[in-house]
Amino acid sequence: MNPQANVVSTGAFVVGPIGDRDAEDGDPARLAYEEGIQVFEEVIVPACTAFGLDAFRADMISRSGEIPEQVFRQLRDCPVVIADLTGANPNVMYELGLRHTTGRVTIQIGEKGRLPFDVAAIRTIMFKRTEAGLVQARKDLSKALAANLDTGGDPVAATRIWFEAPSVEARVPELSPSVVNEVIDEDDAPGFLELLAEMEAGIQSLGQTITAAGSIVECIGTVYTEANASVQHADAKGGFAGSRLIIAELTAKKLLNEAVRLEVVSGEFSHTVDRIEPGIQYLLDRLAAEPDQLASVPEFPQQIRKLCDAARSSIGGLNMMRSNTIEIGKASRSLKRAGERLLPSLKRFTDTSGRIADWSVQIDKIPEPLTNQETIAPGDSNA
């Protein structure tokens, strides 16, 4: 009997921050692991056990094979999915979105103050990371399981709409940036600070996505470095084409895993820029035309400039990785297939980073804020 089949039929699949158990103390990846495993062991496992459910995470799947494929099967087939959205990264949000399309029982939990704003409309069990807070979270999760296991739960609005027949009247064309600017200029449009607050939320999401992308690109670089070291070691021991082919196959599997992650993050990266770019361009143009507004948002231009600099500095590395991927793909069919999976995401990142870097042109038009010394009229100084 396949033990994993039992997990699917009686299990509760948990998505959330995985982190890195082997990272050094104090490392963000190690902290993410410790926080995630604390919620898993102290909240989720006890609540699920009471209902005869075996809770498990992606890093607990022991079957051989591609991890992303197994995760997607669990998201599709598992009767219960519990999503820990604490500090949710794009991977978690993507997995949650896939799960919502199934209409199966999906329960969200997360630490107060660390939830993505995108899920505010969906009922979520919020907790404080204290002893009493975790106990209460366990009780709330138990209540949610009791209420939903028999009925199957109510599908979220997105799921209901997804399976409805599309309405011709409901189809609204996407607005171009120029049209967005015209709408913003209307009398009932949101004010300057309201637009700024929305952009700040988008910038925070963009920063998190860039961090996630950087981590994946670093992992890909490590895969290439390890493969090169393995080839050199094999050559030193007298290995020939056969040894190199084995290394190529193992490397291709690792790259495919990273390619799946990169597809998710690159898509989120591009989508976020599409969403906030018209507003950011409008705000930068307005600051250039009305410098007095700088007094209320003195740090905003510098926030955008930092994003521009980070995006610009990443383009060279992305282009180099694209070239390396093409070159390495010539070694074997498996590496070529892995490269074909990676290249579109790398190009998407490069193109989107270029769009962000171009925002600096508008930033340069914004006058520098006056210093105290510059505000003193000539002849007024006692020097």
What are the tens digits of pLDDT across the range 130-169? 999 999 999 999 888 888 876 666 666 656 555 554 444 4
Decide: pTM greater than 0.85.
no
pLDDT, greater one: 116 or 41: 41
What does CATH list as the number for 3-162?
Answer: 3.40.50.450
**Stronger pLDDT, 27 or 271, i.e. the higher one:** 27
Mean pLDDT of 369-381: 44
Task: Answer yes or no: is pLDDT of 175 > 50.
Answer: no
Higher pLDDT among residues 182 and 243, named by residue: 243
Inform me whether the pLDDT recorded for 109 exceeds 90. yes
pLDDT per position as a tens digit, 48-106: 988 888 999 988 875 655 567 888 889 988 989 999 999 877 788 888 888 888 878 89
Q: Say what the pLDDT of residue 357 is.
A: 92
Do the domains 177-363 and 3-162 match in fold? no
Contact 106, 96 (CB under 8 A): yes
Residue 106 confidence (pLDDT): 92
Residue 174 pLDDT greater than 60, yes or no: no
* Nearest-10 Cα torsion for 314, 317, 319, 325: -130
Largest CA distance in the chain: 92
Please, what is the average pLDDT of the chain? 78
pLDDT at 45: 92
Confidence at residue 94, expressed as pLDDT on a 0 to 100 scale: 85
Q: Where are the domains of the chain?
A: 3-162, 177-363
Instruction: Read off the DSSP letter of residue 331.
Output: S
What does the pLDDT average to over 213-240?
83
What average pLDDT score do residues 255-263 get?
Answer: 80
CATH of domain 177-363: 1.20.1050
Q: List CB contacts of 59: < 8 A, sequence separation 6 or more.
A: 18
Q: What is the pLDDT averaged over residues 244-263?
A: 85
Whose tokens are 């009780």? That residue is: 139
Cα 363 from Cα 347, distance rounded (Å): 25
Percentage of the chain lying above the pLDDT 90 cut: 19
Residue 371 confidence class, pLDDT cut points 50, 70, 90: very low
Residue 186 has pLDDT above 50, yes or no: no
Tell me which residue has tokens 């520098």. 368
Does the pLDDT value for residue 40 go beyond 90? Answer: yes
| pLDDT reading at 42 higher than 90 | yes
Predicted local distance difference test score (pLDDT) of residue 188? 55
141: three-class secondary structure by DSSP: helix
How big is the chain, counted in residues?
383
Residue 161: what pLDDT?
Answer: 58
pLDDT value at 14 more than 90: yes
DSSP class of residue 78? -
Mean pLDDT across 347-362 = 92
